[in-house]
Amino acid sequence: MVVLFALVSESFEPKRFAGLFSAAPSVLLASLIVTVALEGTAPASENASGAVAGAVGLVAFAVASAWAVYRFKGLVGSLVSLVPWAVASLVAYLFLMGAR
């Protein structure tokens, strides 16, 4: 399953965006191994940058959901928490893209 997610993440463009889908450590590791084996280290570096942006979004989601689920209950709190995830991931992605 991990390798399947890694292969799916390889189909997205740009490669940093694909990394957002491989932020889980096991999926990221499999994705990076596949990328290095098939394409080299430069594309793997782009995937790793995307994974960092995804991890930043995950932390934002976790922090927001701790409050939002308590305040609004399950489904609504989870949906509200998607906003900080999207904003944090986008900001991190743009920051990392500008750093290259």
Parse the chain into domains and list their residue ranges.
2-99
To which residue do tokens 């890694």 refer? Answer: 6
Q: Which amino acid would we find at residue 38?
A: L
Burial class (CB in 10 A: 0-12, 13-18, 19+), 12: middle
Round to whole Å and give the CA distance between 48 and 2: 16
Q: Tens of pLDDT along 44-78?
A: 888 888 888 888 998 999 999 999 999 999 899 99
Q: Tens of pLDDT along 1-37?
A: 556 666 666 676 665 555 555 556 777 788 788 889 9
